[in-house]
Amino acid sequence: MGDRILGALCVLLAGAMAWAARGYVAEISYEPVGPRAFPTLLAAVLGLAGAWLALRPSRTAAPAPDAAPATPHSGLGLPLALTVGAMLAYALLFQWLGFVLATALMALPVGRSFGGRPLPLLATGLGLGLGLYFVFDKLFDVVLPTGVLSFVLGGR
Protein backbone atom coordinates (compact mmCIF):
# COMPACT_ATOMS: atom_id res chain seq x y z
CA MET A 1 0.00 0.00 0.00
CA GLY A 2 2.91 2.33 0.71
CA ASP A 3 4.07 2.05 -2.91
CA ARG A 4 0.67 3.19 -4.16
CA ILE A 5 0.63 6.18 -1.83
CA LEU A 6 4.18 7.13 -2.85
CA GLY A 7 3.21 6.73 -6.51
CA ALA A 8 0.19 8.99 -6.12
CA LEU A 9 2.31 11.60 -4.32
CA CYS A 10 4.89 11.44 -7.14
CA VAL A 11 2.18 12.01 -9.74
CA LEU A 12 0.91 15.04 -7.77
CA LEU A 13 4.45 16.39 -7.39
CA ALA A 14 5.09 15.87 -11.11
CA GLY A 15 1.96 17.86 -11.93
CA ALA A 16 3.08 20.68 -9.64
CA MET A 17 6.56 20.66 -11.20
CA ALA A 18 5.16 20.81 -14.73
CA TRP A 19 2.78 23.61 -13.72
CA ALA A 20 5.61 25.62 -12.17
CA ALA A 21 7.94 25.02 -15.14
CA ARG A 22 5.49 26.36 -17.70
CA GLY A 23 6.43 29.90 -16.66
CA TYR A 24 10.19 29.40 -17.02
CA VAL A 25 11.29 31.63 -19.88
CA ALA A 26 14.74 32.99 -20.62
CA GLU A 27 14.79 36.66 -21.53
CA ILE A 28 17.81 36.06 -23.72
CA SER A 29 18.11 32.66 -25.38
CA TYR A 30 21.69 31.62 -24.74
CA GLU A 31 21.16 27.84 -24.61
CA PRO A 32 19.68 25.59 -27.30
CA VAL A 33 17.34 24.09 -24.69
CA GLY A 34 15.19 26.58 -22.81
CA PRO A 35 14.95 26.68 -19.02
CA ARG A 36 11.64 24.81 -18.91
CA ALA A 37 12.85 21.72 -20.79
CA PHE A 38 14.68 20.00 -17.93
CA PRO A 39 12.04 20.47 -15.20
CA THR A 40 9.33 19.42 -17.66
CA LEU A 41 11.28 16.30 -18.65
CA LEU A 42 11.94 15.53 -15.00
CA ALA A 43 8.24 15.99 -14.20
CA ALA A 44 7.31 13.60 -17.02
CA VAL A 45 9.70 10.91 -15.77
CA LEU A 46 8.53 11.39 -12.18
CA GLY A 47 4.88 11.27 -13.25
CA LEU A 48 5.36 8.08 -15.29
CA ALA A 49 7.28 6.37 -12.50
CA GLY A 50 4.68 7.46 -9.95
CA ALA A 51 1.83 6.23 -12.14
CA TRP A 52 3.60 2.90 -12.53
CA LEU A 53 3.99 2.59 -8.75
CA ALA A 54 0.38 3.54 -8.13
CA LEU A 55 -1.20 1.38 -10.83
CA ARG A 56 0.99 -1.71 -11.09
CA PRO A 57 -0.58 -5.04 -10.15
CA SER A 58 0.10 -6.21 -6.64
CA ARG A 59 2.64 -9.02 -6.40
CA THR A 60 2.30 -9.81 -2.72
CA ALA A 61 0.90 -13.12 -1.62
CA ALA A 62 -2.11 -13.25 0.65
CA PRO A 63 -1.10 -13.47 4.32
CA ALA A 64 -1.54 -16.73 6.14
CA PRO A 65 -4.79 -16.88 8.12
CA ASP A 66 -2.94 -17.10 11.44
CA ALA A 67 -0.42 -14.34 10.60
CA ALA A 68 -0.46 -11.11 12.60
CA PRO A 69 -1.75 -8.13 10.63
CA ALA A 70 0.96 -5.90 9.21
CA THR A 71 1.20 -2.43 10.61
CA PRO A 72 0.58 0.29 8.05
CA HIS A 73 3.75 1.84 6.62
CA SER A 74 5.99 -0.56 8.55
CA GLY A 75 9.57 -0.26 7.37
CA LEU A 76 8.93 2.90 5.36
CA GLY A 77 10.24 5.41 7.91
CA LEU A 78 14.00 4.94 7.68
CA PRO A 79 14.25 4.66 3.87
CA LEU A 80 12.02 7.71 3.48
CA ALA A 81 14.05 9.68 6.03
CA LEU A 82 17.31 8.71 4.28
CA THR A 83 15.96 9.78 0.91
CA VAL A 84 14.61 13.11 2.16
CA GLY A 85 17.85 13.79 4.05
CA ALA A 86 19.88 12.99 0.94
CA MET A 87 17.76 15.36 -1.14
CA LEU A 88 18.25 18.17 1.38
CA ALA A 89 22.02 17.56 1.53
CA TYR A 90 22.10 17.46 -2.30
CA ALA A 91 20.40 20.85 -2.49
CA LEU A 92 22.73 22.36 0.11
CA LEU A 93 25.97 20.93 -1.30
CA PHE A 94 25.18 21.14 -5.02
CA GLN A 95 27.05 24.41 -5.70
CA TRP A 96 30.00 23.72 -3.44
CA LEU A 97 30.64 20.06 -4.36
CA GLY A 98 29.42 20.40 -7.92
CA PHE A 99 27.00 18.27 -9.89
CA VAL A 100 29.20 15.18 -10.25
CA LEU A 101 30.20 14.74 -6.60
CA ALA A 102 26.82 15.76 -5.20
CA THR A 103 25.10 13.24 -7.47
CA ALA A 104 27.59 10.48 -6.57
CA LEU A 105 27.15 11.12 -2.85
CA MET A 106 23.36 11.26 -3.12
CA ALA A 107 23.34 7.81 -4.72
CA LEU A 108 24.70 6.23 -1.52
CA PRO A 109 21.92 6.99 1.01
CA VAL A 110 19.16 6.70 -1.60
CA GLY A 111 20.53 3.39 -2.86
CA ARG A 112 21.05 2.10 0.70
CA SER A 113 17.41 2.86 1.45
CA PHE A 114 16.57 0.40 -1.35
CA GLY A 115 19.01 -2.21 -0.07
CA GLY A 116 22.02 -1.53 -2.30
CA ARG A 117 25.65 -2.20 -1.38
CA PRO A 118 27.90 0.83 -0.72
CA LEU A 119 30.72 0.34 -3.26
CA PRO A 120 28.49 -0.43 -6.26
CA LEU A 121 26.27 2.49 -5.27
CA LEU A 122 29.20 4.92 -5.17
CA ALA A 123 30.52 3.62 -8.50
CA THR A 124 27.07 3.90 -10.07
CA GLY A 125 26.55 7.37 -8.60
CA LEU A 126 29.92 8.54 -9.90
CA GLY A 127 29.21 7.09 -13.34
CA LEU A 128 25.76 8.66 -13.38
CA GLY A 129 27.12 12.03 -12.25
CA LEU A 130 29.92 12.05 -14.84
CA GLY A 131 27.70 10.75 -17.62
CA LEU A 132 24.92 13.25 -17.02
CA TYR A 133 27.42 16.07 -16.59
CA PHE A 134 28.94 15.45 -20.00
CA VAL A 135 25.55 14.94 -21.65
CA PHE A 136 24.25 18.24 -20.32
CA ASP A 137 27.52 20.13 -20.71
CA LYS A 138 28.56 18.90 -24.17
CA LEU A 139 25.30 17.88 -25.84
CA PHE A 140 22.80 20.36 -24.42
CA ASP A 141 25.29 23.10 -23.54
CA VAL A 142 23.70 23.51 -20.10
CA VAL A 143 26.05 24.92 -17.49
CA LEU A 144 26.26 22.79 -14.36
CA PRO A 145 28.41 23.61 -11.34
CA THR A 146 31.74 21.77 -11.23
CA GLY A 147 32.44 22.64 -7.60
CA VAL A 148 35.63 21.20 -6.15
CA LEU A 149 36.30 19.29 -9.40
CA SER A 150 36.60 22.48 -11.47
CA PHE A 151 40.31 21.83 -12.09
CA VAL A 152 39.46 18.43 -13.67
CA LEU A 153 36.22 19.26 -15.47
CA GLY A 154 37.23 22.71 -16.65
CA GLY A 155 34.68 24.53 -14.52
CA ARG A 156 32.88 27.64 -15.54
H or E segment at 111? helix 99-113
Q: What is the pLDDT of residues 35-76, one digit of tens each?
A: 777 788 888 888 888 888 888 877 665 555 665 555 454 566
Q: What is the pLDDT of residues 15-33, one digit of tens each?
A: 998 888 888 777 776 666 6
What does the CA dihedral 152, 95, 78, 117 come to, rounded to 10 degrees? -10
pTM of the model: 0.56
Q: What is the pLDDT of residues 93-130, one digit of tens each?
A: 888 998 899 989 888 888 888 788 999 999 999 999 99
**Phi, psi angles (nearest 5°) of residue 44:** -65, -45
> pLDDT at position 70, please?
52
Residues 106, 90 contacting (CB under 8 angstroms) = yes
